Homo-oligomer: A and B are copies of this chain.
Amino acid sequence: MPDALPIADLADRVRAGDRRALAQAITLVESTRADHRDQAEALLATLLPFSGQGVRVGITGVPGVGKSTFIEAFGLHVIACGHKVAVLAIDPTSQRTGGSILGDKTRMELLSRETRAFIRPSPAGSTLGGVARRTREAMLLVEAAGFDVVIVETVGVGQSETAVADMVDLFLLLLPPAGGDELQGIKKGIVELADMIVVNKADGDLTNAARHAEAEYRHALALLRPANRNWPVPVLSCSALNKVGIDGIWDRINEYRRLLGHDGSIDRRRADQARAWMWNEIRENLIAAFQGDHAVRTELSALEQATAAGTVTPGAAARRLLGLFRGADR
């Protein structure tokens, strides 16, 4: 085991809060090389017992809602309260370049200068599953490094909100101070994932619009069943720009943690998330093996088209392809 020592060493340095070691550990976890994967799993196995103590907050919002400004104001407030904050991201469209890392640092310039903050852009990757797994694993690493508030941000592409909601304790939806038609820009299903809704830009000319939107959302949420009976989804407003209302949001998040910690909901949520994550990995791997199978590939596209055209039943097409898969590989 030639790698046993360096991995143990890296793990120790991560636990000591060494930022350079943490960055290196995340890079290792993000690598797709097979030998790196072995090392990454050894590292995660070592650090797993020291993770889990963080408050995990997912944040999403439509473009233009002021997400970076909000995360910066929120992060700075949380640091002022004595915490250490890590900001991770999920963006399946990101092709990591020097530019995009710089982009992340400049858009949260004040926060990125804080020694008690750690900002990491989204890992690159072509599948959401892969990108999400690497962010989940980075979350365990930053917790082991002592960051006790972890923000996971999504750019809201594809199913990335669901991926984020499935890895955090609280999913916060940031909305603009708008109503009616403008709000139709919100993707289907997102409102129902939220554990907390915050209307941003409650400042200047938009103050009244924000109050109005807040009331409108509160009204609409009465029609949806909350995920947890003991936690009716609160609707708040803030001005990230003027740093007004940020403290109230952090207070509510702590209230949520206390409430759901008290009745064991947080533990159950995390256990369910871990179990679902394991099954997702299994499912993705099985499907990838199926799609990559030589015999399947000879007929897949024709059968898929025939199914869509209604000339073959989906059941018959599936049966034929599964037969090819089993016949070819077993």
Question: Which residues from chain A sit less than 8 Å from chain B, CB to CB?
Answer: 41, 44-45, 48-49, 52, 133, 136-137, 140, 179-181, 183-189, 191-192, 216-217, 219-220, 222-227, 270-272, 274-275, 277-283, 285-287, 290, 303-304, 307-319, 321-322, 329-330
Is the CB–CB distance between B224 and A188 below 8 Å?
A: yes
Is the CB–CB distance between B319 and A41 below 8 Å?
A: yes
Residue from A137, A186, A286, A321 with most neighbouring chain B CB atoms (10 Å): A286
* A275-B308, A286-B287, A330-B329 known; A313 vs B137 contact (CB < 8 Å): yes
Is the CB–CB distance between A309 and B271 below 8 Å?
A: yes
* CA A226 to CA B188, docked complex, whole Å: 7
* CA A185 to CA B226, docked complex, whole Å: 10
* A223-B216, A282-B318, A330-B329 known; A189 vs B186 contact (CB < 8 Å): no
11 chain-A/chain-B pairs, Cβ below 8 angstroms: A41-B313, A45-B316, A48-B312, A49-B311, A181-B222, A184-B223, A189-B189, A189-B192, A219-B219, A274-B308, A277-B314
Is the CB–CB distance between B48 and A223 below 8 Å?
A: no
Contact partner of A322 among B274, B282, B319, B329, CB < 8 A?
B282
Is the CB–CB distance between A310 and B219 below 8 Å?
A: no
* Chain B residues, CB < 8 A from A217: 223
Q: A216-B223, A279-B318, A285-B318 given. 4 additional CB < 8 A pairs?
A: A271-B309, A271-B310, A274-B314, A282-B290
* CA A189 to CA B186, docked complex, whole Å: 14
Residue from A216, A312, A315 with most neighbouring chain B CB atoms (10 Å): A315
Tell me, rounded to whole Å, the shortest Cβ–Cβ distance linking A147 to chain B.
17
* A275-B307, A304-B275, A310-B48 known; A316 vs B41 contact (CB < 8 Å): yes
Is the CB–CB distance between A310 and B52 below 8 Å?
A: yes
For the complex of A and B, the 4 pairs showing the least CB-CB separation, nearest first, are A281-B318, A277-B314, A278-B314, A271-B308
Contact partner of A317 among B140, B278, B317, CB < 8 A?
B278
Tell me, rounded to whole Å, the shortest Cβ–Cβ distance linking A51 to chain B.
8
* Chain B residues, CB < 8 A from A329: 330
Contact partner of A133 among B186, B307, B315, CB < 8 A?
B315
Tell me, rounded to whole Å, the shortest Cβ–Cβ distance linking A284 to chain B.
9
Is the CB–CB distance between B283 and A283 below 8 Å?
A: yes
Contact partner of A315 among B137, B189, B219, B316, CB < 8 A?
B137
* Chain B residues, CB < 8 A from A48: 310-313
What is the chain B residue whose CB lies nearest that of A303?
A: B278
* Chain B residues, CB < 8 A from A290: 282, 286
Is the CB–CB distance between B183 and A223 below 8 Å?
A: yes
Tell me, rounded to whole Å, the shortest Cβ–Cβ distance linking A45 to chain B.
6
Contact partner of A304 among B137, B188, B189, B278, CB < 8 A?
B278
Is the CB–CB distance between B278 and A224 below 8 Å?
A: no
Is the CB–CB distance between A283 and B287 below 8 Å?
A: yes
* A316-B41, A316-B44 known; A186 vs B224 contact (CB < 8 Å): yes
Residue from A187, A216, A219, A310 with most neighbouring chain B CB atoms (10 Å): A310
